[in-house]
């Protein structure tokens, strides 16, 4: 059996750290996109870059939300449930 490429957080603090990193990643990707001068924007440095960052954020989000269903520690499950709400807001911002 191979090891999963996704490592789930073991504690509430680890989970919250991942949530913060996802939020920062999504915010910075928008900031980076807006910072590109309009006359220099192209598919590669806008849409493809945004897709790359969103894929990374989605994978990280799984680390935050999946534990709500499977983690042995109730505190981590509860924090992951809250993380789902936080992630919904982050993606909508």
Q: Structure pTM?
A: 0.83
Average pLDDT, the chain: 92
Q: What is the pLDDT of residue 1?
A: 54
pLDDT at 74 over 70: yes
Classify the C-alpha dihedral 60-63-69-74 as positive or negative.
negative
Q: Mean pLDDT, to the nearest integer, of 52-62?
A: 94
Other Cβ atoms closer than 10 A to 79: 23
Residue ranges and CATH numbers for the domains of the chain are 12-92 (1.20.1050.40)
State how far the Cα of 35 lies from the Cα of 32, in Å rounded to an integer.
5
Q: What is the pLDDT of residue 93?
A: 76
pLDDT at 3 over 70: no
Give strand ranges (E) for 1-93: none
């Amino acid at each position: 059996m191979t090891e999963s490429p996704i490592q789930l957080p073991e504690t509430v603090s680890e989970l919250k750290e991942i949530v913060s990193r996802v939020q920062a990643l999504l915010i910075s990707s928008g900031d980076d996109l807006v910072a590109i001068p309009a006359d220099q924007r192209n598919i590669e440095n806008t849409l493809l870059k945004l897709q790359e960052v969103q894929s990374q954020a989605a994978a990280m989000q799984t680390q935050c939300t999946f534990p709500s269903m499977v983690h042995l520690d109730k505190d981590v499950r509860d924090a992951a449930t809250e993380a789902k709400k936080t992630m919904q807001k982050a993606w909508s911002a």
